[in-house]
Structure 1
Amino acid sequence: MKARVKWVEGMTFVGESGSGHAVVMDGSPESGGRDLGVRPMEMLLLGMGGCTAFDVVLILKRGREPVEDCVVEVEADRAETDPKIFTDIRVRYIVSGRGLDRAKVDRAVALSAEKYCSASVMLGAMAKITHEVELVDTAA
């Protein structure tokens, strides 16, 4: 796996993944940026959220659960001094479908958090990560 990050100007950078997709990263105006893209630390949270959402949906689909939607909200606190690592990360899953089995959804989240989501496992080595699951029954 590869990635390349190119400085554009000010505090704006373009990151390109090995698969050829690009993303703009920028800093806040206070740090010399123009607020043209996500912050690099936000990218870490987005990556973790995408990784675990991917896992949960895939596990539920393979288990033939009637999943219709999955939203993962990630919030984090950072240390106050450099390096300002994440100290606490809260992950909230909102999983929708008709008659989803709560135990299967909880198991999918646990499998992602503990085994399959590399981003969660790596960040969990430094930060305390908690998970919350909300089920939305679309049959109602």
Structure 2
Amino acid sequence: MKTTIEWTGDAGFRADSGSGHSVQMDGPPDHGGRNQGPRPMEMMLMGLGGCSSFDVMSILKKSRQDVTDCHAELEAERADAVPAVFTRIHLHFVVTGRGLKENLVKRAVSLSAEKYCSASIMLEKAGVSITHSYEVREAE
């Protein structure tokens, strides 16, 4: 896996992935940025959410669950001192579908957290406290 980061002026940077995709990152105006993209630490949090959501959906599909929607809400706390690392992250999954089995949703979230989500496991090994919750909703 490779990526390149290109300075785009002021506090802005473009990240180009090895798979051919680009993301613009930027700092806030009070740090010289123009607010034209997410902050790098926000990108880390988004990466964690994407990694874990990918796992949850993959596990639920293999379990033949009729999922119509899945979204994750992440909330993080950071240290007050430099470096302002993540200290706590909570992931809350909202899974909607037809006749979903709650025990399978719980299992999918647990498997992602404990076995499959590389981002989550890596951050936990670095000392970040990561918690998970979920809710199951019936599709209309």
TM-score normalised by structure 1 residue count:
0.97
Structure 1 runs (4+) greater than 6 angstroms displaced:
none
> Cα deviation per residue 1:20-71 (whole Å; 9 max; x = unaligned)?
1000000001111000000000000100000011110010001101111110
Give the deviation of 1:138 after TM superposition.
1.1
> Partners in 2 of 1:135 and 1:112 — Cα distance?
17
Report the counterpart of residue 73 of structure 1 in structure 2: 73
> Partners in 2 of 1:82 and 1:49 — Cα distance?
24
Could you tell me which runs of 5 or more consecutive residues in structure 2 were left unpaired when the two chains were aligned. none
How do 1:1-140 and structure 2 match up within 5 A? Answer: 1-125=1-125, 126-139=127-140
Give the deviation of 1:132 after TM superposition.
1.1
SS in 2 for 1:80: coil
> Partners in 2 of 1:134 and 1:32 — Cα distance?
40
Identity %: 52
> Partners in 1 of 2:74 and 2:5 — Cα distance?
24
Residue correspondences, number: 139
> Partners in 1 of 2:32 and 2:123 — Cα distance?
28
SS in 1 for 2:69: strand
> Cα deviation per residue 1:71-112 (whole Å; 9 max; x = unaligned)?
011110000011111001010000000111011000000000
Aligned amino acid, residue 115 of structure 1: K
> Partners in 2 of 1:103 and 1:129 — Cα distance?
21
The alignment yields a C-alpha RMSD, in angstroms, of: 0.7
SS in 1 for 2:106: helix
